[in-house]
Amino acid sequence: MDHSQFIGRQTIRLRVNGQEVEREVEVRKLLADFLREDLGLTATHLGCEHGVCGACTVVLNGDSVRSCLLFAVQADGGDLLSVEGLARDGQMHPLQQAFWDHHALQCGFCTSGFLMSAYDLLQKNPHPSEEEIRHGLSGNLCRCTGYANIVKAVMAVAGKNTEETKRESKT
């Protein structure tokens, strides 16, 4: 039996890492697969495909989401940021630099998800406590680092946010 008649397609339009994108996709295509296969943004990883590991985390409309749990059509009209969109003008984002400086990665598989979860956390709370950082990253799993250096990296960026705020308030 030919099931192709049951597979619908839809055109979606969204902003991805600051660029307008329009593509026709199968309505059942996962957002993670759309990013990886249709847009070539392969830093978003698929680990568990159940939303548990966090490797597929992206920021959609200002909130971190698991791209393995959303269909691409659900992002239609949205504004999406993936880890590829963090760097600007060839310069790593402060979180990326902090992960590098604090050795907060080993194999790298989970790194993009941690970066996006940390980015979302710091957008909503620029000065989190260590406990708030640990809670904010608790939905991401890493089998290599033991989390200590990941937390240190986020704390370093949060500390810089605090220093910048102090400097700005003095001027």
Q: 163 falls in which pLDDT band (50, 70, 90)?
A: low
Same fold, 8-84 and 94-166: no
Average pLDDT over residues 136-159: 93
Domain 94-166 has CATH 3.40.50.2300: no
CA distance 82 to 58: 5
The pTM of this model reads 0.88
Task: Give, to the nearest 10 degrees, the angle between helix 148-170 and helix 94-101.
Answer: 130
Q: What is the pLDDT of residue 49?
A: 87
Per-residue model confidence as pLDDT tens digits over 19-40 = 999 999 999 999 999 999 999 9
Q: What is the pLDDT of residue 73?
A: 98
Asked whether the predicted pLDDT for residue 64 surpasses 90, the reply is yes
> Out of 4-8, 72-76, 87-91, 167-171, which region has the weakest mean confidence (pLDDT)?
167-171
Q: What is the pLDDT of residue 6?
A: 58
Q: What is the pLDDT of residue 145?
A: 77
Assess contact for 95 and 153: CB atoms under 8 A: yes
Architecture of domain 8-84: Roll (3.10)
* Long-range contact pairs involving 47-53 (C-beta distance under 8 Å, separation at least 24): 47/109, 47/110, 47/141, 52/141, 53/110, 53/113, 53/140, 53/141
Q: Where are the domains of the chain?
A: 8-84, 94-166
**Does 9 or 146 have the greater pLDDT score?**
9
Asked whether the predicted pLDDT for residue 140 surpasses 70, the reply is yes
